[in-house]
Amino acid sequence: MIVTDSEQRISDICAGWRKDGLTVGFVPTMGAFHKGHLSLVEIAAASSARVVVSIFVNPTQFGPDEDLDRYPVALEEDCRLLEELDVSAVFTPRVDVVYPEDFSTGVYVTGISEGLCGSVRPGHFNGVTTVCAVLFGIIKPDLAVFGMKDAQQLAVIRQMVSDLRMGIDIVAAPIVREPDGLAMSSRNQYLSADERKQACLISTGLEAALSLFQTGERNCELLRNAFLDTLKDAPKLRAQYVETVDPDTMLGVEIIENPVLLVVAVFAGKTRLIDNILIEPEV
């Protein structure tokens, strides 16, 4: 497994593979791996001849009061975990490689990126789309894998890749959960013991909404309330948003006729966690 911080080297390696007719799967990450990340890598490996993982804590997607300074970094351990998987190369660029001094371009996806996380984290998705466009330009992958926990990010990336005719197949990876249901996230390590204990109610609440749907309820307000009811006795949890949206457009839905995503952002103490569940009527 090659580990490099050189843009030229990774770009040459990927170009060589493409020239040899080998497909390149790409997993962009910010490191501090958990099983969710490793599942993205496995999905990429299952459908491409070579897998490249990038590890880059992208400063432009963090707001001024967010956790950039304390975002977990574990480069050595991350590379050790990747060694055990079918990864050909790891790209670990420095900030000034991704954003040289004269860097002047931003990629902005309107609409999809504006509600939900976009409205409470202004500029966040512009940072995500810009860095992904840069990384895609360097790696030129055939496919790239993104986790469904970040459902809005996935929809925004799909829109960018389609609008800019990037020709990359965007593959969605299912959410990986802890045994008690908490969606895996690098930010879970910020949680205190009490917060961690209560945080599992986020997935319990999503399941409660799904169960209500399965009894025949189609009114989204009642599903959202079922989620909120589950958090009632958890003093460490505070919902930031609870929305029912179309999975492709991220626009609000009130009555379920087609697949709907129940998407939530919840503070456990000071740590912001996101999660979602797909609610699919039978066709």
Which residues of this protein are in contact with ligand PAF, per CB under 6 A? Answer: 28-30, 58, 61, 128, 131-132, 150, 153
Dihedral class, residue 167 (left if φ above 0, else alpha if ψ from -120 to 50, else beta): left
Contact criterion met (CB below 8 Å) for 18 and 45? no
Q: CB-based contacts of 180: which residues, under 8 Å, 6+ apart? A: 200, 203
Residue 221: is it exposed, middle or buried by C-beta count within 10 angstroms (0-12/13-18/19+)? exposed
CB of 131 to ligand PAF, least distance (A): 5
* 37, 53, 89, 253 from 49: Cα distances, Å: 19, 13, 12, 40
Assigned token pair, 212:
């209500």
Catalytic status, residue 37: yes
| Nearer CB in complex with ligand PAF: 28/118 | 28
Amino acid letter for position 142: D
| Nearer CB in complex with ligand PAF: 53/266 | 53
Q: Kindly give the residue spans of alpha helices, DSSP state H, lying in 215-250.
A: 220-231
Assigned token pair, 121:
């984290």
| Nearer CB in complex with ligand PAF: 128/182 | 128
CB of 152 to ligand PAF, least distance (A): 11
| Nearer CB in complex with ligand PAF: 183/208 | 183
CB of 137 to ligand PAF, least distance (A): 14
CB of 95 to ligand PAF, least distance (A): 12
Instruction: Using the CB atoms, write b or e for 8-22: b if 16+ within 10 Å.
Output: eebeebbeebeeeee
Assigned token pair, 148:
């469904």
Total residues belonging to the chain: 283
| Nearer CB in complex with ligand PAF: 89/256 | 89
CB of 111 to ligand PAF, least distance (A): 19
- The closest alpha carbon to 98, from 125, 139, 131, belongs to 131
CB of 212 to ligand PAF, least distance (A): 30
| Nearer CB in complex with ligand PAF: 14/131 | 131
Which one from 14, 25, 37, 116 is the annotated catalytic residue? 37
Which residues are the active-site residues?
A: 37
